[in-house]
Structure 1
């Protein structure tokens, strides 16, 4: 496979069906790992998404949106199965459910990927509901282990959803243990570790892999980045927020972009890159990838304020 991707995101690409009231619904392309892939491509990374989508109009929209940002589609499989749908009944606070029994995403087949597809990989990102839906979950956990053994750095964002019951705990521990980067929000921690305070839940999560970078986001309150005994904190830059859909996914992409392009940066600057990407995404409607000029401007602002 010539000109193979350097960054990979593997998991689910889906369609959000959003209630507009009065029995009106609007569809939007989405999926946490797919959002990260698009954001990486928009930031100029040679990125691919590995997953399976349907052959209907919903799959067509996902394919077109992938191409629109320059995402490598050679690892994106199309199968004759129904689409995966997220039915969003309410946005704030979120209330939703998924329709996808035996849907396209579950039929992703790594054995069908082109020869040599992973030869140039340096980073691979996993997470979202794909790791809570069998048989896809087992396929992706195995793939993450294989890539880690190959020397590929692993990124993991559990992105808690109500599918992640107590049965998800072994996957959480396994993926966190493999990961070089773990991204989690305060809401994720409350869902993953019910009944625990956020700080205690974070300690539990980091104990699975103390040496990994760990990005903790708190929405408009800012974020913290940990590595070993190091910790840095920063507030999110002030922006005109259109909506926050996809902001967490963009922050993962911003951090991975920074680590890949500027590995020698101090921890604080990597955190600023994550916040800049997440905040840039908030300036647009829907899970739209952050625009590089906006991210660069916000990054320079955060760097200047820290001096």
Structure 2
């Protein structure tokens, strides 16, 4: 999610692409037979993302912590669609990206229904508040949800992704990764109450880690037998993102004003992850950082091999041994 003045310029670099909606990205496509997973899909960008993919014929799994909110989201998608098979083709499944047990149970639930997954969209995200808030495992919550959660989910989903003829992993990026400390202070990660830096550090750091991890992961996948690509998709600022819910009212107001001025709706923000999810496989640049339907360079040090090694060491340090991805880069 791009923020700040530089984020505004970044997102406005191509106005026509910036205004493209999720539905606009799937116009004319037939996704029948494809299986898509969207995390954090009970609100915000997750709903129009799922709605567009469903409208184009896909089977969609929407996942979130609240089954009640997911049920409402599913009904909203069905009501707005011309399709009549929503009850069968949209699955709601409980998933807490801050809980490894929940991620494992979710993976089991998916494998009971589908033999493959074509696209995993890691849409779930969390902004840190102004005070340190520990997640289940003691790390700062946004670090857990925005970085460690996707790492664990991707590894758990790998067999189902490998079963698809051409699979992809779409991780939601953010221009905020540019504002992460430079160099990244790996010795301080994961942060605790004493080293907590709030949005300006913790969120930006988590998004930097996810951007670098996506590139390293794609590099590893490109050397394997399965056809799987991993990319980042930066949606820009979304006015109704659930990630803003815990922020102070003045910040929520500022975000909405900025989005109105930029004519960037939640449906338009969802256009970039949908673009990454449906673009022809041969045209998608593995490891790429996409925004507005175009490739943009991430911060240069996300491509650094030494940083990839440091990320690997960090993952091994904080994750239980049985959850560490196999053959880390």
Using structure 1 for the length normalisation, give the TM-score.
0.41
More helix by share: 2
Using structure 2 for the length normalisation, give the TM-score.
0.39
Tell which has more relative contact order, 1 or 2 (C-alpha 8 A, sep 6+): 2
